[in-house]
Amino acid sequence: MPFWPWLLRIFAAFLLDPEKIIKWAICILLIPVALLVLLFAGPVVAYERIPLAKPSQVQLYVEAAREVSESTRTACDEKGLTVDWQPLLAIDAVLLRQDFSLASKWRAVNLARRFVEQTGTRTCIVGYDRHGKPIEKTVPVYRLRNLDEVLDELRLDAGQRAKVADYLTLDLNLLRDVGPGVPPGWLPVEKSFRWPVPGVYFVTSGFGPRIDPVEGIDGFHTGIDIGASMGTPVVAAADGLVTTAGWAGNYGQAVFIRHNNNLETRYCHLSGIAARRGQEVNAGEVIGYVGSTGKSTGPHLHFEIRRGNRPTNPVDYY
Ligand SMILES: [Zn+2]
């Protein structure tokens, strides 16, 4: 059978079926649209309202800013300049298109250096020799450049500048490892909750984003860590029903207590448990002892307060 009658038949089928023609027309029209979407989806998706850096990546910028700031200290200016790390992070969020896997200390330091300019030198007296003659030293004089000067130098366009400004409307500290989360010497004020380790108020790791101490990766700390020695009694923070008393995976030996108002407290990494599942406990009652079971680097109590199963910051309750 020759080729052309077959082709003709297909055309005829199309002509006789207008619905098919419309379908094909739509398909053909959609191809350029799909290509355009693919072309622009990348940059659009990459743009978020906050820099997508993990705590360990944020730390690169914090350290770079500190290093460069320290390098501006001289014999004539002991304080030196203070380079802010937040603009560095905001600029790199734009330059790296949010791909902070490309961030490095070296890159962050180079960026931080752009904020410092040597404007000249000065000579100052740094001491006196044994004849009472002043000892002079000539050192560089630095000036802190403002954000616009740096953005000009980096040749950022208007859209990129708007993004940098947008990122800087936030306090980027929220992306950092929270550390202890309380100031040194902080003391809890007991309101509706008792402090779970009476007499020990040393919070070693706070609630929020942090660098995992065991894995060294970035994570979210769902409670607070209270540094206490092995065997220190742990008490129920409030009256409630024990729902878990035993091994609980990464939590190690743990006690979970359900309270009123959809609240739950969790006491983890215990060395010993002094409560059983289904038991009603009173606030202040000993339920276990500080340990280092499960995913833990040393004796401490990992303490959580959950509201409707969502971890909340326990410090907010004291
Ligand atoms: Zn913890």
> Ligand 1 mean position to 62 CA, how many Å?
24
> Ligand 1 mean position to 59 CA, how many Å?
20
The whole-angstrom separation of Cα 144 and Cα 112 is 10
> Ligand 1 mean position to 53 CA, how many Å?
22
Confidence of residue 42 (pLDDT cuts 50, 70, 90): very low
Confidence of residue 9 (pLDDT cuts 50, 70, 90): low
The whole-angstrom separation of Cα 198 and Cα 189 is 12
The three-state secondary structure class of 277 is coil
> Ligand 1 mean position to 105 CA, how many Å?
28
Q: Encode pLDDT of 211-227 as tens digits.
A: 777 766 778 899 999 99
Give the model's pLDDT for residue 176: 83
Nearest-CA neighbor of 75 among 122, 117, 113, 118? 122
Give the model's pLDDT for residue 293: 95
Confidence of residue 37 (pLDDT cuts 50, 70, 90): low
CATH 2.70.70.10: which residues of the chain?
203-317
The size of the chain, in residues, is 318
Question: Which letter, b or e, does each residue of 116-155 get, where b requires 16 or more Cβ atoms within 10 Å of its Cβ?
Answer: beeeeeeeeeeeeeeeeeeeeeeeeebeebebeebbeeee
For residue 302, give Cα distances in angstroms to 178, 199, 305, 313. 15, 16, 10, 12
Q: Which fold has domain 203-317?
A: Glucose Permease (Domain IIA) (2.70.70)
Q: Encode pLDDT of 241-288 as tens digits.
A: 999 999 999 999 999 999 999 999 999 999 999 999 999 999 999 999
The three-state secondary structure class of 252 is coil
Give the model's pLDDT for residue 45: 46
> Ligand 1 mean position to 194 CA, how many Å?
18
